[in-house]
Structure 1
Amino acid sequence: MALVDADYKFMWVDVGCNERISDGGVFEGCSLQQALDRRSSMFPDPAPCPGDERPLSYYIIADDAFPLQENLMKPYLHKDMIHEHRIFNYRLSRARRVVENAFGIMANRFRVYFTKIALEPSKVTKIVLATYTLHNLLREEIGITTGVADVEDFNTHKVSDGSWRNDPVLA
């Protein structure tokens, strides 16, 4: 389970749940859920977006397996959706694409994720945490080159796949 920011960096990671349970089930037992319940200081204070003076709260974007909470947004159910709900779901899915890109970029950079890791769980946890850390370091040091992540044309809403989807080895 991981939390990704808008710059494709991993802000929070919980590794080690090796049971076959749903994302929502993993979330219930993870430290992120506990932090949200305690209202810990993991969320920055509301801040204005560029070009606007009004402060805006931060939220976690999730899929429908997660519970709706004060700082956690999930899509509306598809049954009998009104137009505004369809627009909300579309925009939420665009935000979730950032998470998909972050995982794809990291997996392409660290090819260990393309196969089963045949080590004891404690070593696998260390490898996974190391790759998240290295991914973030590389994001800060070299950034992201144009075309690596998915890009949407906001006029036509056509999405161009990022190059990580075509399996190139990323530097």
Structure 2
Amino acid sequence: MDILLLKRIETNAIMAAVATALLINDKDNKKRPRSCWVNPFLKERSKKGRFSTHFENLKQSPSTFFENFHMSFALFQELCSKMEPSLAPKVFSRPDSIRPHEKLALVLEYLASGDNQSHIASSYRISKQRIGPIIESVCVELCKQLKHEMPAWTKELMLKSAEDFENIWCFPNCVGAIDGKHVSIKAPARSGCEFNSNKGNHSLVIMAVSDAKYRFTYLDIEAYGSESDINAFTHCKLGKAILLDQLNFPDDKPRNEVMLPYYLVADDAFPLSKRIMKPYTSKNLTRKELVFNNRLGRARRVVDRAFGILSLKWKAVHRTNLCHPDRTKNIITACCLLHNYVLRRSPMEYEVSQHKVLDSLPEEFIQFRDRVQDYPKYVRDNVKDFVNSFEGT
């Protein structure tokens, strides 16, 4: 019993000594003064930061400014004037606070270059903890201010788009081209296989529709990388509305004395329906079917080219995004709206060229088999006849 009592006393003494040491150490830490309240490197933002030095020089060179921000200085000022009220501090802040035009400049440079956030932060002399919330808040505000660049679908908008497709790409009754694109991301923690794509990375899927001038008219970023294009299409609002024929398309238009509906063009991954036109896929195609596939391919490739221009100009979409998926969605949406905005305001500087190719082949008609499930094939066959006819060429 005496031995047990001695051991217990010894243990209590050790615990008391450890507690006393920790208490003394804690008091020493509390008394220790801060080396600095603000990092000296960040203090010199107004004198040596990228905005105060490099940005002012870029204004003197329009071409170099466009290379860095992918918009002219006039467009930058216009965009800044729209966003300044919402980006300005709501209450009085420190005199060295980040100004609205600085926030917009660093976010545009991040979206255009796709560079590491820590590198952008050090260039502008902003703390690494602050740049993430700045990027998210500016992207959200960009989506609000530029939402008119992707207006809601109306009959007038569809008819205008169909007219552009017929005049530029010689494809009738087409209101847009639809396709999906994978944007590589860093997989979030405990996400499992949700974001795994068939390309061996983790991604989000953009389901988008483009008009004949490479502008996006619809955007959905809700699908994960594990889903195919057809799954992403059938689960998005547009896909459900098209498959159920609930979208308010324009009235059918006569072609070669046949009433044909308006539709979207797509590749083999999408289902053939009344509102989705896809190419013939059999091995032994006739000459007319080959001409139809060629003409449809030219019309469909506008969405691929739109994605290509988007990835070229706004590399935050092209490179692996290290942000959380929710923030990544805001970044992608902001990039697509900026793409439409700059393309509408400065198409020549944005370096987009349109090519018009014409074909001229004889016509031939194919009879319709009177069954409801064959109607999409009937529409496709009549479009094939039209593009092979004298009027269609």
Same-fold call, TM > 0.5? yes
Q: Which residue is equivalent to 1:18?
A: 224
Q: Distance in 2 between matches of 1:19 and 1:149?
A: 31
1:45–1:57 CA contact under 8 A, matched in 2: yes
Q: Distance in 2 between matches of 1:130 and 1:146?
A: 17
Q: Residues 112 and 42 from structure 1, CA distance in 2 versus in 1: closer, same or farther, beyond 3 angstroms?
A: farther
- Three-state SS of the structure 2 residue aligned to 1:3 is strand
| Pair 1:28-2:234 in alignment | yes
Matches within 5 A, 1:11-160: 11-41=217-247, 43-45=249-251, 57-144=261-348, 148-149=352-353, 151=355, 154=358
Aligned residues, how many?
151
Which 5+ residue runs of structure 1 have no aligned equivalent? 49-53, 156-171
Q: Distance in 1 between matches of 2:312 and 2:336?
A: 12
The structure whose residues are more often helix, as a share, is: 2
- The root-mean-square deviation of aligned C-alpha atoms, in Å, is 2.7
Q: Distance in 1 between matches of 2:319 and 2:226?
A: 18
Q: Give the TM-score normalised by the residue count of structure 1.
A: 0.76
1:84 CA displacement: 1.1
Q: Which residue is equivalent to 1:165?
A: none
Moved over 2 A (4+): 37-48, 54-58, 143-155
The farther-off stretch of 88-97 and 33-42 is: 33-42
Q: Which amino acid aligns with 1:96?
A: R
Q: Distance in 1 between matches of 2:226 and 2:353?
A: 30
1:8 CA displacement: 0.8
- Flag the structure with larger Rg: 2
Q: Which amino acid aligns with 1:27?
A: F
Q: Residues 45 and 134 from structure 1, CA distance in 2 versus in 1: closer, same or farther, beyond 3 angstroms?
A: farther
Deviations 1:45-86 (CA, angstroms, capped at 9, x unpaired): 5579xxxxx997432110011100111100101312111111
Q: Give the TM-score normalised by the residue count of structure 2.
A: 0.35
Q: Residues 33 and 153 from structure 1, CA distance in 2 versus in 1: closer, same or farther, beyond 3 angstroms?
A: closer
Q: Distance in 1 between matches of 2:333 and 2:350?
A: 26
- Three-state SS of the structure 1 residue aligned to 2:218 is strand
Q: Distance in 2 between matches of 1:63 and 1:72?
A: 10
1:4–1:10 CA contact under 8 A, matched in 2: yes
Q: Distance in 1 between matches of 2:217 and 2:253?
A: 18
2:222–2:236 CA contact under 8 A, matched in 1: no
Q: Distance in 1 between matches of 2:233 and 2:287?
A: 30
